């Protein structure tokens, strides 16, 4: 049985900050943001928006464009690290909003939970719901997986230029039109880490940026090793002499805290996969430098980061590798299209890789590439930490869906905030009703908390026509 993503819909808030304004305000060279990080616009939520209404807006779009009724949906999972309540799942807020449109009780038959594991939880949600359908527990109903997040970092921190906000809703069905997941190969890795975390009550995370970058690369590589073993063992991929498994993956979609991180993740993976193959000799010749090894190759991430000599020469090698024709050919053909949306929206935590998938499909199609039967390899990462590597194959009916994808049109007219306006929103200095944009044909937050103590934390939403 083929199960996978039948269709997807996105929601991106219409406020943004421009990288040039941001660079000027923080005294940063704008080229660092444009090329070093890969950001041009960072999407921001208005005072009358939160992660739940973004999730509901993405889900409503998905339902409307596919003529779905609540009766067609048996499960709804919401993956987020921007939770609104320690106990009440984001799903219940989302269901409440959708029932404003579809009628009270219209989702009563369905089920679902909120999932948390930093940016990777959406991938676990997809995997679990795919297997719910494979196990034929679904009673002919579809599952919806929504990933929705607000990436918010402290003002003045290095993370501040990797902010963003948005949601993606995905319809999971049997015989999907877009992408069928390969079975029995999804691979995970998990470890207790403090690379990025947000203790209770804190609105912004505590992050060890460089540590989190390296951990992401290492964890995805380890999950990829396990994926490779399964793909070969199950006969999904057959390697000939001198081949790498990356030769059999046509397109890549990876976790994208910022555009440049996707480029680096591909470089790390290719180095790992190619260094024992005959092609590596040509690459080393082109680079003109031997690949460095740490003083203690079996050391910890801390010991590798502390090995200054290695880190410096490895950075030099990595940059040179990213200039080689071998890297650039793979990058242009297999990854570049997935990074377009990231530059225009910013970090979306759980939704970042799936916005990347959306971007990959749209921009590869616009290049005129035939996508049918192409295998997409996914490298999902969540701090804390866990990685999941899996793959899927683009289905014949993809054209009917992808031909209508237009990111700029879908986001619509955007409003640029000045740095002063942005900081005011960031510091929660504006009242909920004092929003910049009122909203049109979407759910918005209208009230938090009731007049009595037993209504503390109540959130009320309205659909604006």
Residue numbers 23-62 binding ligand COA by CB under 6 A: 29, 31-32, 35-37
Q: Which residue is nearest to ligand COA (CB)?
A: 36
Please tell me the number of Cα atoms within 13 Å of 406 on its side-chain side.
6
Among 213, 244, 253, 380, binds ligand COA (CB under 6 A): 213
SS3 3: strand
CB 18 within 8 A of CB 41: yes
Long-range contacts of 272-281 (CB under 8 A, 24+ apart): 272/221, 272/224, 273/244, 273/245, 273/246, 274/244, 274/246, 274/326, 277/242, 277/243, 277/244, 278/242, 279/242, 279/326
323 binds ligand COA (CB under 6 A): no
458 binds ligand COA (CB under 6 A): no
Annotate 274-305 with DSSP letters as a single string.
HTTSTHHHHHHHHHTSPPP--SSTT--HHHHH
Residue numbers 60-89 binding ligand COA by CB under 6 A: none
Residue 402 CB partners (closer than 8 Å, separation 6+): 178, 361, 362, 365, 371
Label residues 119-151 b or e (16+ Cβ within 10 Å = b): bbbbbbbbbbbbebbeeeebeebbbbbbbbbbb
Binding mask 215-254 for ligand COA (x = CB under 6 A): -x--------------------------------------
Residue numbers 395-454 binding ligand COA by CB under 6 A: none
Nearer to ligand COA, 158 or 369 (CB): 158
158 binds ligand COA (CB under 6 A): yes
In the complex, least distance from residue 383 CB atom to ligand COA, rounded to whole angstroms = 6
Nearer to ligand COA, 37 or 445 (CB): 37
Tokens of 461: 């939403």
Place of tokens 């971007």: 359
Residue numbers 159-188 binding ligand COA by CB under 6 A: 159, 161-162
Size of the site for ligand COA (CB under 6 A): 20
Determine whether 29 is exposed, middle or buried from the number of CB atoms within 10 Å of its CB (0-12, 13-18, 19+): exposed
Q: Is the dihedral of CA 356, 445, 440, 63 positive or negative?
A: positive
Among 47, 253, 383, 395, binds ligand COA (CB under 6 A): 383
Nearer to ligand COA, 4 or 38 (CB): 38
Binding mask 250-279 for ligand COA (x = CB under 6 A): -------x--xx------------------
Nearer to ligand COA, 5 or 151 (CB): 151
Nearer to ligand COA, 32 or 367 (CB): 32
Nearer to ligand COA, 70 or 379 (CB): 379
In the complex, least distance from residue 363 CB atom to ligand COA, rounded to whole angstroms = 23
Measure the CA–CA gap between 283 and 329, rounded to whole angstroms: 13
Measure the CA–CA gap between 340 and 332, rounded to whole angstroms: 12
Nearer to ligand COA, 185 or 351 (CB): 351
Residue 256: other Cβ atoms inside 10 A: 32
Nearer to ligand COA, 73 or 261 (CB): 261
Q: Is the dihedral of CA 104, 106, 109, 111 positive or negative?
A: negative
380 binds ligand COA (CB under 6 A): no
Residue 30: other Cβ atoms inside 10 A: 15
Nearer to ligand COA, 29 or 140 (CB): 29
Q: Contact residues for ligand COA (CB under 6 A)?
A: 29, 31-32, 35-37, 158-159, 161-162, 207, 209-210, 212-213, 216, 257, 260-261, 383
């Amino acid at each position: 049985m083929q199960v996978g993503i039948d269709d997807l819909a996105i929601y991106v808030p219409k406020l943004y900050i421009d990288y040039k304004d941001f660079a000027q305000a923080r005294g940063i060279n704008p080229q660092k943001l444009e090329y070093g990080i890969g950001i041009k616009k960072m999407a921001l939520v208005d005072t009358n928006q939160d992660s739940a209404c973004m999730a509901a807006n993405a889900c409503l779009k998905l339902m409307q464009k596919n003529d779905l009724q609540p009766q067609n949906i048996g499960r709804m999972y919401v993956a987020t690290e921007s939770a609104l309540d320690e106990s009440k799942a984001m799903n219940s807020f989302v269901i409440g909003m959708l029932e404003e449109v579809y009628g009270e009780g219209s989702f009563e038959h369905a089920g679902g939970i909120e999932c948390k594991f930093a940016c990777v939880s959406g991938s676990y949600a997809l995997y679990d719901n795919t297997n719910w359908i494979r196990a034929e527990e679904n009673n002919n109903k579809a599952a919806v997986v929504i990933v929705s997040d607000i990436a918010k970092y402290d003002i003045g921190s290095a993370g501040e230029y990797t902010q963003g906000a948005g949601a993606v809703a995905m319809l999971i069905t049997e015989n999907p039109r877009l992408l069928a997941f390969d079975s029995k190969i999804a691979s995970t890795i998990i470890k207790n880490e403090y690379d990025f975390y947000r203790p209770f009550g804190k609105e912004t995370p505590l992050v060890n940026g460089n540590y989190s970058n390296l951990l992401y690369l290492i964890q995805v590589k380890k999950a990829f090793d396990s994926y490779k073993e399964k793909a070969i063992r199950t006969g999904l991929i057959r390697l000939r002499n001198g081949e790498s498994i990356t030769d059999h993956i046509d397109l890549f979609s990876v976790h994208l805290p910022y555009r440049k991180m996707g480029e680096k993740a591909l470089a790390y993976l290719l180095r790992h996969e190619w260094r024992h193959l005959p092609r590596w000799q040509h690459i080393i010749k082109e680079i003109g430098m031997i690949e460095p090894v740490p003083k203690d190759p079996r050391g910890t991430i801390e010991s590798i980061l502390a090995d200054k000599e290695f880190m410096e020469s490895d950075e030099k090698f990595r940059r040179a590798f990213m200039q080689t024709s071998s890297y650039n050919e793979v990058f242009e053909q297999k990854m570049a299209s997935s990074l377009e949306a990231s530059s225009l929206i910013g970090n979306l935590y759980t939704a970042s890789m799936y916005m990347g998938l959306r971007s990959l499909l749209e921009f590869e199609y616009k290049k005129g590439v035939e996508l049918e039967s192409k295998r997409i390899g996914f490298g999902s990462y969540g701090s804390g930490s866990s990685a999941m590597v899996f793959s899927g194959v683009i289905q014949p009916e993809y054209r009917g869906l992808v031909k209508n994808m237009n990111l700029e049109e879908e986001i619509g007219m955007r409003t640029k905030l000045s740095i002063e306006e942005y900081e005011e929103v960031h510091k929660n200095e504006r009242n909920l009703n004092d929003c910049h944009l009122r909203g049109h044909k979407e759910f918005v937050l209208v009230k938090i908390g009731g007049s009595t103590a037993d209504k503390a934390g109540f959130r009320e939403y309205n659909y604006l026509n």
